[in-house]
Amino acid sequence: MPETEIRLGVVGTGYVGLTTGACFAHMGHRVVCGDIDQRKVDLLNDGHIPIVEDGLEQIVNDARGVGRLEFVLGSQAAATDADIVFLCVPTPQGDDGSADLSYIQQAAREIAPILKPGAVVVNKSTVPVGSTVAVERELQRDDVFVVSNPEFLREGTAVRDFLQPDRVVIGSADRGAAEKVAELYDSIDTPIIITDPASAETIKYAANGFLAMKISFVNAVAAMCEAVGADVAAVVDGIGSDTRIGGQFLKPGPGWGGSCFPKDSRALVKIAEEHGYNFSMMKGVIDVNTEQRGRMIDKVAKAVGRHHSNLSGVTVGAMGLTFKAGTDDLRESPAMAIIADLRRAGARVRAFDPTTCGELSPHQESTLDGIELTKELIDVADGADVICVFTEWPEFAKVDLDQVAARAGAGTTVVDMRNLFDPFAVKSAGLGYDGVGRN
């Protein structure tokens, strides 16, 4: 591990800030992470990780053990004495679809008076083109530098994605500041792309937009497979084997969700609009995603022989709530959106998720009003007219299907929105089966 005298401050200890701080400390740097949320800071100082993230606890504990990682309250405490300060605060969707920059602006105003001369402020949050300049304006300091360094980690594999990235992107008007940031990644073997801030900011949105496009495309192909009697798995195998297309991000499902794709795809449309470009392709990608959720609700209605607007008296067993497996994040989860619609149509919903196990963690701020959470997966089968597989948690695939059938009773259909189960195994247990793009 390279030992370096560079001191890093990280503002925000959410998915990105905590991973960034812990990974940089793991890579040999000295890091102080600050958050305004006292509860989070207390938890972290007590050795607890507030989020579900594979491998994070280990590197946080190791780095704290050797004194390279600290948690403090507030942005100023994190930025004091730092040579490089990372802003990892939220950029939620504003009312008009654009990214809300108020957290970034607030954080910049907070740290402005205490930054060391020559300090580099690095924006890791996902922000629209022009935000690097906006942060500079907010700081009102001509002796510090602002650099864009977008983050590409995925929740659930955040530590691996950070330590083994496909590339690192750095955008700066000042070559020296960009190189200072690039040096932090010296121990990682990865291409480093140094560009201007506008390009770096655009790369982040374009990457998320493209990935969302791949998923919308495969979901549209899955709909076509159902119509023409083809099998989406074979089709994906066939197209994904073409190296120009690639096999990743072509898993059909209930539509993409999570804390990034929904807000970033809308922000991309908005940014384009504000600059006079009608990004109609991105609008189509979003529309297909909305339609996909509707198609899932139609499948549930079909399974119980009802119209999707009237599901009163129908009991739905829900396997999974998070927006994908491997995370506890409920933000913009397709499961939550579809369940809300099912409930509006009158259905009763009983759900299990490995990260809730009967109750939400304080971190999972969400409106679960009216959803009953079960303690065990099998309990969602009790009296269920239809069982929905919302999330691809691998342990779900190991459930005893005979027991599911016994608890649910005859006539229950599994609507497998992640194609997790073998249709023949489900049918052999006496249950109905409907997947995505499978016939």
Ligand X SMILES: O=c1ccn([C@@H]2O[C@H](COP(=O)(O)OP(=O)(O)O[C@H]3O[C@H](CO)[C@@H](O)[C@H](O)[C@H]3O)[C@@H](O)[C@H]2O)c(=O)[nH]1
Ligand Y SMILES: NC(=O)c1ccc[n+]([C@@H]2O[C@H](COP(=O)([O-])OP(=O)(O)OC[C@H]3O[C@@H](n4cnc5c(N)ncnc54)[C@H](O)[C@@H]3O)[C@@H](O)[C@H]2O)c1
- Applying CB under 6 A, does 154 fall inside the site for ligand X? yes
The response to whether 263 counts as a known ligand-binding position is: yes
Which of 249, 273, 284, 379 touches ligand X (CB under 6 A)?
Answer: 249
Binding flag, residue 262, ligand X (CB under 6 A): no
156 belongs to the binding site for ligand Y (CB under 6 A)? no
Among candidate residues 297, 320, 291, 303, the one with its CA nearest the CA of residue 420: 320
Using CA atoms, how far residue 61 sits from 69, 339, 386, in Å, is 9, 37, 43
* Segment lying near ligand X (by CB under 6 A), choices 46-54, 188-196, 247-255, 398-406: 247-255
Active site residue 357: no
Shortest Cβ 13–ligand Y spacing (Å): 5
Among 26, 251, 266, 331, binds ligand X (CB under 6 A): 251
**How is residue 134 written in tokens?**
């906006």
Q: 244: annotated binding-site residue?
A: no
| Binds 129: which of ligand X, ligand Y, none (CB < 5-8 Å by kind) | none
Residue 99 DSSP symbol? B
- Specify the residue, 323 or 433, whose C-beta has the smaller distance to ligand X: 323
Window of 86-94, 130-138, 234-242, 416-424 that interacts with ligand Y by CB under 6 A: 86-94
Please give the Cα distance from 247 to 431 (Å, whole number).
31
| Dihedral angle sign, alpha carbons of residues 82, 83, 89, 94 | positive
Q: Length of the chain, please?
A: 439
Residue with the two structure tokens 């650099």:
147
Do the Cβ atoms of 332 and 262 come closer than 8 Å? yes
Q: Verify binding: residue 103, ligand Y, rule CB under 6 A.
A: yes
Does 50 participate in binding ligand X (rule CB under 6 A)? no
- For the beta carbon of residue 159, count every other beta carbon within 10 angstroms: 21
Contact 62/100 with Cβ under 8 angstroms?
no
Name the residue nearer to ligand Y (CB basis): 9 or 354: 9
Nearer Cβ to ligand Y (5/166): 166
Q: What is the spatial order of strands in the sheet that 69-73 belongs to?
A: 69-73, 30-35, 7-11, 84-87, 120-123, 145-148, 168-171, 192-195
Q: Does 106 bind ligand Y (CB under 6 A)?
A: yes
Q: Where do contacts with ligand X occur on this chain (CB under 6 A)?
A: 126, 151-155, 208, 211, 215, 249-251, 253, 256-258, 260-261, 264, 323-324
- Active-site residue numbers? 260
Q: Which residues bind ligand Y (CB under 6 A)?
A: 11-17, 34-37, 40, 75, 88-91, 103, 106-107, 110, 125-126, 151, 153, 155, 259-260
